[in-house]
Amino acid sequence: MSTLPSPPTIHSLTSSPAHSLPRYAIIVAGGSGLRMGADRPKQFLLLRGEPVLLHTLRRFAEPALGVAQTVVVLPFDQLDFWRELTAEHGGAFPHTLVAGGATRWASVKAGLAALPAAPPSGALVAVHDGVR
Angle between helices 79-88 and 52-60 (to 10 degrees): 80
pLDDT of 38? 75
Whether 75 contacts 102, CB under 8 Å: no
Q: What end-to-end distance do the CA atoms of the chain give, in Å?
A: 32
Question: Which range is least confidently modeled, 37-46, 73-82, 105-114?
Answer: 37-46
Domain count, the chain: 1
- Answer yes or no: is 8 within a domain: no
Write out pLDDT tens, residues 23-45.
Answer: 999 999 987 666 777 778 888 88
CATH of the domain at 114: 3.90.550.10
Question: Is 93 buried (19+), middle (13-18) or exposed (0-12) by CB count in 10 A?
Answer: middle
- Answer yes or no: is 36 within a domain: yes
pTM above 0.85, yes or no: no
Q: How many CB atoms lie within 10 A of CB 2?
A: 4
